[in-house]
Amino acid sequence: MDTSNKWFSLHGKTALITGARTGIGQAIAVGLAKAGAKVVLVGHRDNMQDTELKVEQLGGSYETFLMDLSKVEEVKGKCEEILASLSIDIVVNNAGIIRREPAVSHSLEDWQAAMDTNINSVFLLCQAFAKPMLEREKGKIINIASLLSFQGGITVPGYAASKHAIAGLTKALANEWGASGIQVNAIAPGYIATNNTEALRNNEERNASILSRIPAGRWGKPDDLVGAAVFLASDASDYVNGHVLMVDGGWMAR
């Protein structure tokens, strides 16, 4: 019996993950390393040690790069720096921010910050890393969407707009690049206990209301996203393209 589990193996692959310092990005980076990938950890602060240590403990290999995704004008150059020394097979566009403020007083600055980090930079990263993938006719791009790629959310208009755009961009790129062996998919996490949702969990009323709608009966953990990420990064998903995969404990089914 062949026990190599080649469908989901990422041995020999290099995966770049943005926002790999914390939360979902850290869990996905460690999960892809566990599946055999070399991981390229991208963050905007020089403090990736926790993730680096977790990868090291698995016997995995990594490189770390600094890139501030809120500075869209710097993104192309930073990607070129990475591509000068590395061939990237898998890109996980995970980094994101959320600004909570009612729509009527939501500042243009907050709107712009969410758009720059959550969608404008993602477009530039997809463009930059897809070029060599198109030449090789193979590659995987995974964008981290949200339930707010489908719903409006509460007091987060910039975030909701940026995450709806992630779903649209994912499908647009899947259409253009599918015939060239590149799959572009997205993962829409449900309510996951990370820094991003700390304010919600600290609000007793919102916390109870959110929990009451999750069929799984609990908040998600960053590790809950790893299976979907490994699947979409591996050969097992070669005929899956333009899909937004909800990993939400059943939230959208309710």
Q: In the complex, which residues of this chain contact ligand NAP (CB under 6 A)?
A: 18-19, 21-25, 43-45, 68-70, 94-97, 117, 144, 146, 189, 191-192, 194-197
Is 159 among the residues known to form the active site?
yes
The letter for the amino acid at 58 is L
Nearest approach in angstroms of CB 102 to ligand NAP is: 19
Spatial distance between the Cα atoms of 114 and 121, rounded to a whole number of angstroms: 10
Nearest distance in Å: CB 163, ligand NAP = 7
- The CA-atom distances, in angstroms, between 196 and each of 21, 150, 177, 192, 207 are 13, 18, 31, 8, 14
Contact 232, 142 (CB under 8 A): yes
Closest approach of ligand NAP to the CB of residue 65, in Å: 10
104-131 as b/e: b if 16+ CB within 10 A: eebeeebbebbbbbbbbbbbbbbebbbe
Phi, psi of 238 (to 5 degrees): -60, -20
Minimum CB distance to ligand NAP, residue 239 (Å): 25
Question: Rounded to whole angstroms, how far apart are CA atoms 122 and 34?
Answer: 25
Of the residues 62, 159, 191, 239, which is catalytic?
159
Question: Rounded distance, CA 142 to CA 13, Å?
Answer: 15
Catalytic site positions: 159
